[in-house]
Structure 1
Amino acid sequence: MNTYKYKKIDAFTSKNSLGNPAACIYLDTDQTLGDNEMLDIAKQHKGFVSEVIYCEHKEDSIFLTYYSSECEVDFCGHGTIACIYSLIKDTLDLWNQSEIEIQTNKKGKLTVYNRMLENDTVLISAPEPKYIGSDISREVIADNLGLTVDDLHLNHSIDLIDAGLRTLIVPLNELATEVSIFPDEQKLQSFCIQNEIDIILIFTKDTENPECIAHTRVFAPKFGYLEDPATGSGNSAFGYYMLKNKLWDGNDCIIEQGGENRVFNSIYLSMKDNKVLFGGSATIRIDGTYYY
């Protein structure tokens, strides 16, 4: 049996919110885990965290790989926030760096912007967006979400954008509707797989906190759970959607995320060099050793 440095970290926490849980396994330079082993560990975490993040140091670079209980995930925004936030807290050299280059297994190099001293947050450049577009009818989308067509906002488009994960973005009219729905997980999973969708983000410009620019929820049944309570990749795609549709001017803003069964989480969006940055704070809940 081998031992690994291990932390359970909730990303995008704010005030009393619980954030989005991730398990981070930090591999020493002489430690390796194969694909099957990483998936097996992630399966052991089903129902405890959304994803497991494996962090290695390769050629003087931080290298991240992401797994849900179902499969390897191309990119995990909240897991990246959780892992890098903890590394900066623990590493004096990183604490003193304003920008940190990281490498991801599927999406290449990304930049982390260290704002720990200013507001206890880290921001990460989203992967380059792909504007895919969607021709799925409003009737089909509404049915799979457990909504009616009248619940969807007529003046905002439905779109499919990949900024780490292929994200179907669906506008709703009212906050009360958005926070109260809980779709059928199996039905929504089949819909996502059939249409090559990774996650579904629903949003409204109606917010509980007037300081927030929008309210979002993200459904991710493809990865073995219905809802992601706080999302980096989904809100990054939403940032590009808002820019495309002139709903955001690119200045620093906050997205509130979550259903009525939780305190809403906070996701920060910003822009640098024409790229959307996403980020937030994190809370370390467990710090110990993983035996495998």
Structure 2
Amino acid sequence: MGRRYAVLDVFTHKPLTGNPLAVVLESEGLSDEQMQAIAAEFNLSETVFVLPPENPGHSANIRIFTPKRELPFAGHPTVGTAILLATERFGEVSGEQDAMVVLKEQIGPVRCGVVLKENAAGFAEFDVPRLPQPAGPTENPDIIAAALNLEPSDIGFENHRPSCYEAGVPFVFVPVRDLDALSRARPNLSQWRKAFREATSVDAFVYCRETRVHDSGFHARMFAPEMGIPEDPATGSAVAAFAGAIHYFDDLPNGTHFIRVEQGFMMGRPSLIDLEIDIEARKLHAVRIGGQATILARGELFI
């Protein structure tokens, strides 16, 4: 008997763009070692394993693996899995169908609002389960520039400088002056550990204010070579943590702020991540991540 799985493209409405995701729908009985081996076999940035919920108020328990390790939380697996489970529940819809999906991840339960539409990609938005917070110091910009094969003068714009935040998973956020500098960024593995040894993360989210799409707020790339991800097409958990850096450097006023982050364009996998930030009394009050996903393939694992 096989275990059903699906492959989705996430943070996009078009197949073969966005960030691919594998979701194993029937994961009962798999060991940790088997899950890690299956994730390495798929060799996508993340693979999700769906397990029956322990709490009847939840839709499923899920575990998330990169090719090299397990994660407590991740954005595009949350969006893709929520849309897939809603599709499993309702099948092909006529018109529009709303759903609520609650996924129990290692970080805790994650509430996802899903909208399915006839002949269209699904959309999901989730409440970030942990508000962004600083996650340690960073090395000086010259060392970070060397780790990204950039010049020191490429690092920073306006008042933005390298910082480290986490909303379940920590990232070092590296501002660069423009799209040209961003296009030249490449991990220099001989300098990588030196650049990020003072931080709690060795994953670099590199961003600039210049964008390809007129209504985007930032263009970004994410490098995580030590997790087996040379570059990620779309990183929802990084954008969730990025809300902390945006709030700090841009001094957001009270209210709700909608910011679209574009990623993956320089890989030929264009992705759009919707970020909503609620500010109350000049402090972060809530963060939400949203995006579309389309099912690309279905199959069975004979394990």
After superposition, the C-alpha distances for 1:135-181 in whole angstroms (9 at most, x for unaligned) are 41111111111111100115212211011211100111011211232
Whole-angstrom distance in 2 between the partners of 1:189 and 1:171: 19
Between the two proteins, what is the percent identity of the paired residues?
24
Shift of 1:251: 2.3
SS at match of 1:260: helix
Deviation at 1:216, TM superposition (A): 0.9
Partner of 2:282: none
Aligned partners of 1:5 and 1:289 also within 8 Å: yes
Structure 1 equivalent of residue 249 of structure 2: 245
> Are 1:240 and 1:276, in contact at CA under 8 Å, matched by a contact in 2?
no
**Residues 108 and 261 of structure 1: is their aligned pair in 2 closer, same or farther, counting only changes over 3 Å?**
closer
**Displacement of 1:290 after TM fit?**
1.2
Give the length in aligned residue pairs: 285
How many Å separate the matches in 2 of 1:45 and 1:120? Answer: 23
Counterparts of 2:189 and 2:129 in 1: how far apart (Å)? 27
Deviation track 1:173-198 (CA, whole Å, cap 9, x = no partner) reads 01121123222356536755774315
1:125 partnered with 2:120:
no
Alignment partner of 1:150 is 2:148:
no
Q: 1:191 to 1:151 in 2, by over 3 A?
A: closer
Give the Cα–Cα distance (whole angstroms) in 1 for the partners of residues 98 and 278 of structure 2.
Answer: 17
Distance in structure 1 (CA, Å) of the matches to 2:202 and 2:244: 17
Correspondence for 2:271: 265
CA distance in 1, matches of 2:145, 2:160: 15
1:34 match: 31
Given the alignment, which residue of 43, 50, 53 partners 2:48?
A: 53
Question: Residue 228 of structure 1 corresponds to which residue in structure 2?
Answer: 232
Report deviation, 1:57.
2.0
Change (3 A) 1:40 1:193: farther
Distance 2:271 2:237 in 1: 15
- Consecutive unaligned residues in structure 1, runs of 5 or more: none
Per-residue CA distance 1:61-85 (angstroms, 9 max, x = gap):
2111011121112222111111111
Q: 1:263, CA displacement in angstroms? A: 4.7
Work out whether residues 7 and 25 of structure 1, in 8 Å CA contact, stay in contact via their aligned partners in 2. yes
* CA offsets 1:208-229 (integer angstroms, 9 cap, x no match): 1111011111111121121111
Structure 1 segments (4+ residues) deviating >6 Å: none
Matched, 1:140 2:143: yes
Task: Quote the Cα distance in structure 2 between the aligned partners of 1:281 and 1:14.
Answer: 6
Show structure 2 runs of 5+ residues with no match. 280-284
TM superposition score normalised by structure 1: 0.88
TM-fit CA distance, 1:90: 2.0
What is the distance in 2 between the residues matched to 1:17 and 1:257? 14
Kept after mapping to 1: 8 A contact 2:98/2:116:
no
Alpha-carbon separation, structure 2, partners of 1:26 and 1:272: 34
Matched, 1:281 2:299: no
Cross-structure match for 1:219: 223
Pair 1:100-2:101 in alignment = yes
1:164 aligns with 2:168: yes
SS in 2 for 1:23: strand
Q: Which residue in 1 is equivalent to 2:19?
A: 20
1:16 deviates by 7.0
Higher mean displacement: 82-91 or 249-258 = 249-258
Q: Distance in 1 between matches of 2:16 and 2:67?
A: 24
Give the deviation of 1:96 after TM superposition: 5.4
CA separation of 1:16/1:85 partners in 2, compared to 1, >3 Å: closer, same or farther?
closer
TM-score (norm 2): 0.85
Distance 2:188 2:199 in 1: 17
Q: Relative to structure 2, which stretch is displaced further, 65-74 or 120-129? A: 120-129
User: Paired residue for 1:256, among 243, 253, 262?
Assistant: 262
Cα distance between partner residues in 2 of 1:43 and 1:148: 34
SS in 2 for 1:281: strand
1:178 corresponds in structure 2 to 182
Deviation at 1:243, TM superposition (A): 1.8
Q: Deviation of residue 238 (structure 1)?
A: 1.1
